[in-house]
Copies of this chain bind each other. A is one copy, B any other.
Amino acid sequence: MTKWVYSFGGGIADGGADMRDLLGGKGANLAEMSSLGLLVPPGFTITTEACTHFTAHSAYPDDLADQVTAALSRVEDELGVRFGDPEDPLLVSVRSGARASMPGMMDTVLNLGLNDETVNGLARKSGDRRFAYDSYRRFIQMFGDVVLGVDHHKFEEILDLHKEDNGHGLDTDLTAEDWEAVIADYKARVVDETGAPFPQDPMDQARAAIAAVFGSWMNKRAVTYRKLHAIPEDWGTAVNVQAMVFGNMGDDCATGVAFTRNPSTGENAFYGEYLVNAQGEDVVAGIRTPQHLTVRGREENHSGLPSMEEVMPEVFGQLLEVRRTLERHYRDMQDIEFTVQRGTLYMLQTRSGKRTAAAALKIAADMVDEGLIDEAEAVCRINPSSLDQLLHPTLDPDAERHLIARGLPASPGAASGRLVFSSDDAEAQAMAGNKVILCRIETSPEDIHGMHAAQGILTTRGGMTSHAAVVARGMGRPCVAGAADLRIDYASGVMRVLDSELKDGDVITIDGSTGEVMLGEVKTIQPELSGDFARVMGWADGVRTMRVRANADTPGDCRTARDFGAEGIGLCRTEHMFFDAGRIVAVREMILADGPEGRRKALDKILPMQRQDFVEIFRIMAGLPVTIRLLDPPLHEFLPQEEAAVAEVAEATGMAVEQVRARALRLAEVNPMLGHRGCRLAITYPEIYEMQVRAIFEAAAQVAREDGGRVQPEVMIPLIAMRKELKILRALVDRVAAEVMAAEGVEIAYEVGTMIELPRACLRAGEIAEEADFFSFGTNDLTQTTYGLSRDDAANFLGAYEERGIIDQDPFISLDAKGVGELVALAVERGRKTRPGLHLGICGEHGGDPVSIAHCQTFGLDYVSCSPFRVPIARLAAAQAAITAKG
């Protein structure tokens, strides 16, 4: 016989906290509290399996009714009252309770067991007729709505009419007699609407209410919520039937909610609110001002209302004991609900409390000190993504804000500055010492210098993976992307929103963590990364097995990366260096040259600058590995689009404007992502990579000769699809490196490897590994090619895909483990088979995503690399992955 019903309360419990799947969160914790000896109103939980059965068959399991009856008898025995007893009736609540919290999505019935007779028993027992009749009419209304399908406004009509007829303003004006009259009308309305009288048999009421709660699992609200939160339909909900206790039977009654520690700061101080003579809803609803639990809370909040510590010292003492018991037991900060009925403390709920990132760190660190948890457990307690809150300036929560628009939270942090509409302007203003926010319809690689110069970036078009978003995250610049309500008119230097107009130079503030755009300057708070943060990160570093590197292209980014604990550079893109104002002309000259000779001449101009880039980076990284990716984008990306720039290039190169335009047209590609780029450039124009490799090794030699200078360059060839490509280019790297080392008289240890970013490279990893010292998975491009999905164009339909539930998450944000992941796993296996010592890492955006990092651990990678600002997140996520892997 299947056990459908689990009892709890009165010192016994059939279930426990580990039975969350079967009993739901609420039921499992009620059972757990009972086992702990806490006073929980007795009751029972009907399992999620019964719900699943009910959903499938639209009927209860055969033996459920008997089990419910038995469990109810136990409650009656426990409390010494009977269900339906006109003298002293047992009343129960019937509540849903799913495996995952789905607040307010499903139905609840309170005060069940009341009828025309038992209401009088309740009146006598409570000594309060008005309370009893109010409870009854609430029950009719709730049951009517939830179980009988009589819309609640049909009841409210009656109530309003009654108040009007009798000149009552508030519900509290109504007397017991008033409520009796309302009840009569309610019951009549039920007959009108349903053709049957309001059920008087408490067992009938219970059966119907349980069925209704099960049924609410499939209501529209719940279905939508589950879709949004990826909760499977077949989980079902449990139903908790529990004896009612009342916090509103007089001044020796109360109800409250509390956190066992401060959820905002994490401080180990009891933190909560309560109301005397009130019901649970009253605390939440905000009709009355709640009072603080503790004297300290009252004082800190300058409240004139007395604390529970003062009003009910004895009960408060019990509550402190409960707090201690729960924390010892759950070894985590708890969010609890309680009711005091006539001086007796009843626990109604406990669960892990939500908290800020700062609180999470403090709680975890404190609990280690308190001996409650070990360091590994502390590491696992922090949601890595939540650290983002701590790593960027945030808006002062107390500052006033004038919201004017909203976009996507594309790169976290807050920033204020003057509006500028061009990157050149941004750079000029920044040079002049002004803080600016760069506003563009969308950004392109030509905007890199402006994005660098700006405090933050705002675009009116583009998604979470648009150029602006990706680059801003990489730079650690706050960014709000795709704020579609804003209309930029470059020509007149104006940005319109609704009916107002902002001009070049007007100050705005953006919050890249929320997507908000505000007028004027809003005060921000700088992050603080010592203390608990540093302690927990230290534990994380001690336990993780994967290294964490950063994707960084500039000395500034490299410094940030080291500050955040990066153990090397996993991806140093060299193309951003090409866009620098001082070089782009020479770069364009190179691109427009007719043959290798012309290209070499232009490259000779770039060489010293490129060398200097690497010198600074090697110095900062001080012997840590630096993976430098040779030029990757198609050459046409460097050519100017606008007329003025074309003319400038023509002048600089001595070509006719028409020639420049014709050459640009010849270089244009239908699908640049799949075009003449990466190693393909070097197969056709080897002189480009030759210059870059020369710059790398000349820089390395220079730094190696400095006092204590150490360098560890790793040269990475992008877009390899075939072994032979790498064989040829590896030979080029080795040759130039040997030349430089011979000329400089310095020996430098280096590695040559490749980005694995094409499906074919994954499939042929076995032979490609023969030419590579390392693989770095470029999962951005690998995702694009595996899905056949252009990141730049996907915004047009990925929204529809998420809405229709075709994808759970943007595969550019969280690695597609089943598709892309299989290719990565395959490449790891085949690569290591050929070359057991092959170094393996990931340098796509996924390297900073905690879920993807867990996959990387499974794949067996040696390191992940992510944008500097995500390094702490990655360190923590890698630690959690290592702990999970250990099992």
Pair B683/A797 contact, Cβ less than 8 Å? yes
Give A436 Cβ to nearest chain B Cβ, in Å.
28
B-side contacts of A725, CB under 8 Å:
806
- Closest chain B residue to A760 by CB distance? B819
Query: Given the complex of chains A and B, what is the CA–CA distance between A513 and B502 in angstroms?
Result: 65
- Would you list which residues of chain A between 695 and 747 have a CB under 8 Å from chain B? 719, 721-722, 724-725, 728
Choose, from A240-248, A622-630, A673-681, the stretch at the interface.
A673-681
In the complex, chain A residues 728-772 whose Cβ is within 8 Å of any chain B Cβ = 728, 757-760, 763-764
How many interface residues does chain A have, given as a range?
35 or more
Q: How far is the CA of A538 from the CA of B759 in the complex (A)?
A: 41
Instruction: Write 7 A-B pairs (CB below 8 A) sorted by A numbering.
Output: A669-B790, A676-B797, A721-B788, A721-B789, A759-B788, A763-B819, A785-B786
- Point out the residue from B673, B722, B787, B806 that lies within 8 Å of A724, measured CB to CB: B806
CB contacts (< 8 Å) of A673 on chain B: these are 670-671, 674, 788, 790
Cross-chain contact B683 with A784 (CB below 8 angstroms): no
A151 part of interface (Cβ distance < 8 Å): no
Cα A759 to Cα B819 in complex, Å, equals: 8
B719 touches A788 (CB 8 A): yes
Is residue A801 contacting chain B, with contact meaning CB distance below 8 A? yes
Cβ-defined contact, B806 with A722, below 8 A:
yes
Cα–Cα, bound, A788→B675 (Å): 8
A886 CB within 8 Å of chain B: no
CA of A793 to CA of B673, assembled, Å: 10
Name A796's contact: one of B676, B758, B763, B793 (CB within 8 Å): B676
Instruction: Determine if A781 is an interface residue (Cβ-Cβ < 8 Å).
Output: yes
Q: Are A724 and B790 in contact (CB under 8 A)?
A: no
A671 contacts which chain B residues (CB < 8 A)? 671-674, 790, 792-793
Say yes or no for A800: interface residue by CB 8 A criterion. Answer: yes
- Most chain B beta-carbon neighbours within 10 Å: one of A680, A758, A760, A792: A760
B683-A793 in contact (CB<8A) = no
- Residues on B with beta carbons closer than 8 Å to the beta carbon of A684: 796-797, 800
Residue in chain B with minimal CB distance to A727? B806
Checking B721, B785, B822 against A763 with a beta-carbon cut-off of 8 angstroms, the contacting residue is B822
Q: Tell me which residues across on chain B come within 8 A of A805, comparing CB atoms.
A: 724
Contact of A680 among B759, B785, B797 (CB under 8 A): B797
A818 within 8 A of B: yes
- Residues of B with C-beta under 8 A to A758: 786-788
A807: CB under 8 A from chain B? yes
* Contact A793 B823, beta carbon cutoff 8 Å: no
Are B760 and A786 interface neighbours, CB within 8 A?
Answer: yes
| Residue in chain B with minimal CB distance to A668 | B793
List residues of chain B with CB within 8 A of the CB of A788.
673-674, 719, 721, 757-760, 781, 785
| Chain B, residue nearest A680 (CB) | B797
> Of residues 769 to 822 in A, which have CB atoms within 8 Å of B's CB atoms?
781, 784-790, 792-794, 796-797, 800-801, 804-807, 816, 818-820, 822
Chain B residues within an 8 Å CB radius of A796: 675-676, 684
User: If A669-B793, A671-B673, A671-B793 touch, does A807 touch B683 (CB 8 Å cutoff)?
Assistant: no
Partner of A793, one of B674, B781, B786: B674
Closest 8 CB pairs of A and B: A674-B790, A671-B790, A670-B792, A760-B819, A675-B793, A759-B759, A758-B788, A671-B673
A784, B674: Cβ atoms closer than 8 Å = yes
**Which chain B residues border A784 with CB–CB below 8 Å?**
674
Tell me, in angstroms, the Cα distance from A796 to B668 when the chains sit together: 11
B-chain residues with CB within 8 Å of residue A721 when the two chains form the complex: 787-789, 819
Residues in B whose Cβ lies below 8 Å from that of A722: 806-807
- As for how many copies of this chain the complex holds, the number is 2
Evaluate whether A806 and B683 lie within 8 angstroms (CB atoms) in the complex, with A786-B785, A788-B721 already known.
Answer: yes
Given the complex of chains A and B, what is the CA–CA distance between A818 and B675 in angstroms?
22
* Cα distance A684–B759 in the bound complex, in angstroms: 27
> Closest residue of chain B to A671, judged by CB?
B790
Shortest beta-carbon distance from A394 to chain B in Å: 34
Interface pair A785/B800, CB less than 8 Å apart: no
Chain B residue with Cβ nearest A634: B793
Q: Given the complex of chains A and B, what is the CA–CA distance between A669 and B788 in angstroms? A: 14
**Assembly CA distance A722 to B801 (angstroms):** 11
Known: A676-B796, A763-B819. 9 other contacts (CB 8 A): A669-B790, A669-B793, A671-B792, A671-B793, A674-B785, A676-B797, A683-B797, A722-B806, A760-B787
Cβ B759 vs Cβ A789 within 8 A: no
Taking the nearest CB of chain B, how far is it from the CB of A661, in angstroms? Answer: 16
A676 nearest CB across to chain B (Å)? 5
Cα of A800 to Cα of B819 in the assembled complex, Å: 32
A671 to B792, CA, bound (A): 8
Contacts of A790 in B (CB 8 A): 669-671, 673-675
Question: Which of A670, A719, A759, A807: most chain B Cβ within 10 A?
Answer: A759
- A806's nearest neighbour on chain B, judged by CB, is B724
For A673, the closest partner residue in chain B by CB is B671
Query: B759, A785: Cβ atoms under 8 Å?
Result: yes
A786 touches B759 (CB 8 A): yes
Question: Given the complex of chains A and B, what is the CA–CA distance between A823 and B761 in angstroms?
Answer: 12
In the complex, per-residue mask of A279-323: 1 if CB is within 8 Å of any chain B CB, else 0: 000000000000000000000000000000000000000000000
Q: In the assembly, what is the distance between CA of A807 and CA of B764, in Å?
A: 14
The docked-state distance in angstroms from the alpha carbon of A282 to that of B719 is 55
Query: A793 touching B676 by the CB < 8 A rule?
Result: yes
Please measure, in the bound complex, the distance between the C-alpha atom of A820 and the C-alpha atom of B683, giving whole angstroms.
Answer: 22
List, in ascending order, chain B residues with CB within 8 A of A804's CB: 683, 724, 728
Residues of B within 8 A of A794 (CB): 675
Residues of B within 8 A of A757 (CB): 788
Residues of B within 8 A of A760 (CB): 786-788, 816, 819-820
Residues of B within 8 A of A789 (CB): 674, 721
In Å, the complex CA distance between A816 and B723 comes to 14
A416 CB to nearest B CB, Å = 32
Distance in angstroms between the alpha carbons of A793 and B667 in the assembled complex: 9
Q: Which of A655-694 contact B (CB under 8 A)?
A: 669-676, 680, 683-684
Interface residues of A in 122-168 (CB under 8 A from B): none
- Give 1 or 0 for each of A632-670: 1 = CB within 8 Å of chain B CB: 000000000000000000000000000000000000011
- Bound complex: CA A683 to CA B764 (Å): 34
Q: Once bound together, how far apart are the Cα atoms of A792 and B634, in whole Å?
A: 14
Taken residue by residue from 509 to 542, chain A's Cβ proximity to chain B (1 for < 8 Å, 0 otherwise) reads as 0000000000000000000000000000000000
Give the CA-CA distance A790 to B724 in the complex, in Å: 19
Q: With A and B bound together, what is the CA distance between A728 and B805 in angstroms?
A: 10
**How far is A804 from B725 in the complex, measured between Cα atoms in Å?**
10
Of A674, A787, A819, the most chain B CB neighbours within 10 A belong to A674
| Complex interface: chain B residues within 8 A of A670 (CB) | 672-673, 790, 792-793
